[in-house]
Each structure stands twice: as C-alpha cells, then as structure tokens.
Amino acid sequence: MAEGDRLIGVDALTRVVADILAAYAMPADDARFCAECLIEADLRGVSSHGIARLPTYARRLREGVLNPAPRLAVTERMPVAAHVDGDNGIGYVVGRRAMDLAIEKAQMFGVGLAAASRSNHYGMSSLYVHRALQAGLASFVFTNAAPTMPVWGGRDPVLGTNPLAMGAPGPTPFVLDMATSVAAKGKVRRALARGETIPEGWALDGEGRPTTDPAEALKGVVLPMAGPKGSGIAVMIDVFAGVMSGAAFGDLVVNQNDDFTRGQDVGHFFMAMRPDLFVARDAYDARAGQYRDRIKGGRKAAGFEEILLPGEPESRRAERCRREGLPLSANEIASIEAEAGKAGVAGIG
C-alpha cells in the first residue's frame, strides 16, 4: 500500500457510491449494481475502470446526458440472438441485460448472442465474462469506445481502445480482459491525477510525437498494442460491437469525458456458450484441469516464482482486498467525498 493510502471497507464504499448514483434518479437496484461493478474493478486492480470513473458518470447524470432509468427494448430476430436498445442508459445496466439474454439463450440452445446499441461506457469487460462463468458458461465480450487510437499507419484517433474479454470455466477459471491499445486511456488519466509520468511507447502527443507526459498524451493518441495486430483487432471488434449492433462506430462514438451534450451510443457484443458442445461436460472439466496443471507446472523463467493464468493475479488481489479493505489514495477519497457532497448524501467519513 502506498504512503498516504487508506483502507476502505467494501460495504461502506459500495453504499456511498450507490447513494451518489441514486441521488440522480437512478433506481436503487441499478445504482447498487453499478457501484459493485466500479468497486469490483478496483478490487481487481483495474483502477482505470473503477471509482475513478464516478465523477464523469455523476456529471453526465447531473447534466442530463445519461439516462438514469432507461427503458431497455429487446428485439429478437433469431432464436439464438437478441438486440438491446439501451435508451442511452449507463453501460453497466445495458451490458447486464444483454449478457443475461446471451446466457439464457446459451442455456437453451447451447450458444447465445446479444448486441447492444445506444449504450454508454460499461466498465471492465470481464464483469460480463464472470457473469457467464457463474452460469457455467464460456463467453466472448467486445465493446467499442470513444476514438483515442489511430489505425495502423494513421495519426488521427479513429479507433477506440476497443477491449475484448473472454472466459471459460475451470478449476481456476480462464479469464482474459485486455484493451487493444498498449494501455487503456483510463490509465493515462489516472497517471495524470496521481502526478505520475507514463511509460515510453504508450502514447503520442497532439503533434504525433512520443510522450511520457500524461497531459500531452490526452491531447494526442494512445498506441495500438503490437502495432498492426492490435490495430486490426480493434477494427474487427468495432465491426462486431459497433457496425453489427447498430451503434456508433469508429470516430462517431462520443467521448464521455469531453462531450457533455449527448449520449455516447456505444455498442457491445456478447456471446455465451456451453463448454460441453463438443465433449461431455465431465470430460471438459477434466481436460480444463489438466490444461491448467500443465501450464502452471511448467519450468519458470528467471525472475518468476510462479506461472499464473490470465485473470489469476486479479482474482487473488480481489480476495485479499475483500478481506482487508480497498486501498484508496487521499486524492481518491477526496474525489468521492466531493461527489457525495454534490449529491447531498453521506460520504465515507
């Protein structure tokens, strides 16, 4: 824990964040769900998608550009697929409905697909993967995002960091959640808020020059991971989440941090599937355990004490923080208290 950090209990923090959101006419159940999602990201160490996002959400609710109580409209053109019109609601509520539809269809037909349009930022993508895992299902989750990244060979921000997440059941669940940029834009904002520099290779400034200054990076673009490979994956995610869903795509997606006049029209794509479509479930479970053991039982490279599966470090951190409390900096606590004051609700204390 860094100097000046304070451990905050998860229950107390959830109450405060939920109360803030509910103060802006968000239904209590939705407000609590959104609070749990934000805090889950912090618990897992994905702080770029945690309570650091609260001031932006609260401002968008205050200014009427985010619908606190959307009427989600579901359309089903095929038995295995559903579309959700998010009615400009917060992405967590829209994403939950869409993933639950994909889960229901996968349980019935083996595979379930859902897409959503007229949504907004939906937080950490693995939230929805874990929802499928709780139902014993594998899943793929894609979302587009506001343009902050150039296509390979370009200089202008025409792509979002367009994250992808996927997961499959196992004795230790397999979970991957990653942006298609070298680093999520939220990590740049967090570095700025904490007065830190960013590593070389993360971003270009507004003139297209490499920078380690997060303020300059926010005027420019973040870079795709692995060059043309990351750029290509981001494009294809936008095809599924944006083009196919009927949502905005590319540089048409609204930036929630800069434009407080309209909704983002973010698009999401969800696929859930039973892991026993090709082999019996007991065979799958046995093979998943064998695969885990073979990966973790391999020879370790110099400097490594243990081989970890994707998602394993985050799960361990979350378990520890649930027991001990979530470490928050003085600035983070001050931000929450400020939002509580604006909303007229009790703070952390």
| pLDDT-derived band at 208, boundaries 50, 70, 90 | confident
The answer for residues whose C-beta is within 8 angstroms of residue 234's C-beta and 6 or more apart is 149, 151, 159, 160, 161, 162, 180, 181, 224
> Residue 111 in contact with residue 82, Cβ under 8 Å?
no
Contact 165, 143 (CB under 8 A): no
**Helix residue ranges per DSSP H, the chain:** 10-22, 28-43, 54-62, 91-109, 126-134, 185-193, 214-217, 228-238, 281-296, 312-324, 330-343
- Evaluate if residue 349 carries a pLDDT over 90: no
State the Cα–Cα distance between residues 335 and 231, nearest whole angstrom.
Answer: 34
Answer whether 263's CB lies under 8 Å from 134's CB: no
pLDDT band of residue 138 (cuts 50, 70, 90) is: very high
DSSP state string for 46-112: -GGGTGGGHHHHHHHHHTTSSBSS---EEEEEETTEEEEE-TTB-HHHHHHHHHHHHHHHHHHHSEE
Q: What are phi and psi of 81, to 5 degrees?
A: -135, 150
Mean pLDDT check: name the lowest of 57-66, 153-162, 166-175, 230-239: 153-162
Q: How many CB atoms lie within 10 A of CB 257?
A: 18
Question: Sign of the CA dihedral 286, 175, 106, 79?
Answer: negative
What whole-number distance in Å separates Cα of residue 77 and Cα of residue 187?
Answer: 39
Residue 174 structure tokens: 């397999």
Buried b (16+ CB within 10 A) or exposed e, 102-120: bbebbeeeebbbbbbbbbb
Residue 296's pLDDT is 97
| pLDDT reading at 190 higher than 90 | no
The CA distances from residue 223 to 16, 152, 159, 202, in Å, are 35, 9, 10, 6
- Tell me the pLDDT band of 242, cut-offs 50, 70 and 90: very high
**Beta-bridge partners for 168:** 174
pLDDT at position 123, please? 98
CA distance 292 to 287: 9
- The pLDDT tens digits of the residues spanning 154-171 come to 889 999 999 999 999 999
Residue 2 in this model has a pLDDT that exceeds 80: no
Q: How confident is the model at residue 195 (pLDDT cuts 50, 70, 90)?
A: confident
Q: Is residue 176 within 8 Å of 311, Cβ to Cβ? A: yes
pLDDT for the residue 183: 86
pLDDT band at 185 (very low <50, low <70, confident <90, very high): confident
Strand, helix or coil for residue 211: strand
At 69-86, the pLDDT tens digits run 999 999 999 999 999 999
Domains of the chain: 6-66+313-343 (1.10.1530.10), 73-181+224-273 (3.30.1370.60)
Geometric angle at alpha carbon 18, from 116 and 147, rounded to 5°: 40
* Residue 3 scores a pLDDT above 80: no
pLDDT value, residue 249: 99
pLDDT exceeding 70 applies to what percent of the chain?
99
Q: What is the pLDDT of residues 328-347, one digit of tens each?
A: 988 899 999 999 999 999 99
Mean pLDDT of the chain: 96
Determine the Cα–Cα distance for residues 137 and 107; give it in Å rounded to an integer. 8
User: Under DSSP, is residue 166 helix (H, G, I), strand (E, B) or coil?
Assistant: strand
Predicted confidence (pLDDT) per residue in 25-38, tens digit: 999 999 999 999 99
Overall pTM surpassing 0.85 (yes/no): yes
315 class by beta-carbon count within 10 Å (0-12 exposed, 13-18 middle, 19+ buried): middle
Q: Which long-range contacts (CB under 8 A, 24 or more apart) does 275-279 make?
A: 275/136, 275/137, 275/138, 275/168, 275/169, 277/110, 277/111
Instruction: State in Å, rounded, how far the first CA of the chain is from the last one.
Output: 20
How high is the pLDDT of residue 254? 98
Return d(Cα 165, Cα 178) in angstroms, integer: 6
